[in-house]
Amino acid sequence: MSKYDREEFQSKIEETNIVIPTGFKINGIRTIAEHLSKSKKCLYLAKGPSLEFVDNHLWFGHVATVNEACLRVPGPIDFAFFYDKNTLENSKPAWNRIKTFVMSSLLYGDKINDDYVSIADIDDLPLDRVLTFYKDQHEWDFDKIEDSLKNDEFVNTDTSVMGLHFLIMCGYSDILLLGHDGGVGYAGDIFGSSPNRNLTRFREIIEFVSEKLSNKYGVRIKFFGDMS
């Protein structure tokens, strides 16, 4: 994790005073029953190489994306998850296709250690379509993550894990993940702030959380390449 002061950041989140939309129910996240009236399946997309195959899987169900993965989806996006100002602004060409944004009330800014941005200060962000929460990220510690899940706490070690837990809290029971590959590199022309970043640890964390959520809630979570 970065070197920011965790208590200070949590305090800043709580001071943002963003108005919470009505209907919030679970740890500051509200359920979205209207999206689930026809399907409890969700195609959950991140920026890894397997995102290249998204066009072959759009039939699967509703669509949710992490960061700039939304740029590769040709149609409507039910949920888009962000934790950083830069990834949110990079995704602006897709904003008009996103039904619901999900993000912390305070985003990481240009300098992750000491720069935070209120979502209220993001130019042109449609706040009427934003669901926000007031919780800092979890530490990347398997024992602490497991304790949080046992206590029914919202787990958000990173954007991908935050989105996955949110989708299950919304009631999705069958989730297919593309682009959550680990390793180095993104799909095709998808860009990111750190194109050579090794994402192996991210894959390890989301696999761990997926297994725990599957066992806890009896849901089906499959990664691309494991669709049996």
Helical (H) or strand (E) element with 10:
helix 6-14
For residue 64, pLDDT over 90 is answered with: yes
Q: 200-217 vs 142-150: helix axis angle to the nearest 10?
A: 30
The answer to the question of residue 78 being in a domain is yes
pTM over 0.85, yes/no: no
Least confident of 116-130, 156-170, 193-207: 193-207
Kind plus residue range of the DSSP H or E element containing 84: strand 77-84
pLDDT tens-place string over residues 172-181: 889 999 988 7
**Structural domain contains residue 1:** no
Least confident of 28-42, 83-97, 195-209: 28-42
Torsion from C-alpha of 215, 216, 220, 226, nearest 10 degrees: -40
Q: Give mean pLDDT, residues 67-92.
A: 92
Mean pLDDT value across the chain: 77
Task: Give the least confident one: 27-31, 117-121, 171-175.
Answer: 27-31
pLDDT value of position 20: 37
Of 134 and 97, which is predicted with more confidence?
97
C-alpha pair distances (Å), 155 with each of 51, 133, 163, 203, 205:
24, 12, 9, 15, 11
Tell me the C-alpha distance between 95 and 147, whole Å: 35
The tally of domains found in the chain comes to 1
Tell me, yes or no, whether 163 lies in a domain. Answer: yes
pLDDT band at 27 (very low <50, low <70, confident <90, very high): very low
In a domain, 164, yes or no: yes
The answer to whether residue 38 is domain-embedded is: yes
Question: 64: which 2 tokens?
Answer: 């949710």
Which of 21, 27, 69 has its CA nearest to residue 44? 69
DSSP of 167-217, one letter per residue? HHHHT--EEEEES---SB--STT---S-TT-B-HHHHHHHHHHHHHHHHHH
Rounded CA-CA distance 45/136 in Å is 23
Quick check: is 93 in a domain?
Answer: yes
- How many CB atoms lie under 10 A from the CB of residue 150? 10
Structural domain contains residue 228: no
CATH of the domain at 196: 3.90.1480
CB atoms within 10 A of CB 71: 18
How far is Cα 136 from Cα 155, in angstroms, rounded to an integer? 10
pLDDT digits (tens, 9 = 90+) for 131-148: 877 666 666 788 888 888
Rounded CA-CA distance 49/72 in Å is: 12
- Nearest in space to 44 (alpha carbons), one of 54, 52, 35, 36: 54
What is the residue range of 205's domain?
6-223
Please state the separation of Cα 200 from the chain's center in Å: 17
- The residues, ordered by sequence, that sit 6+ positions from 194 with a Cβ below 8 Å of its Cβ are none
112 inside domain: yes
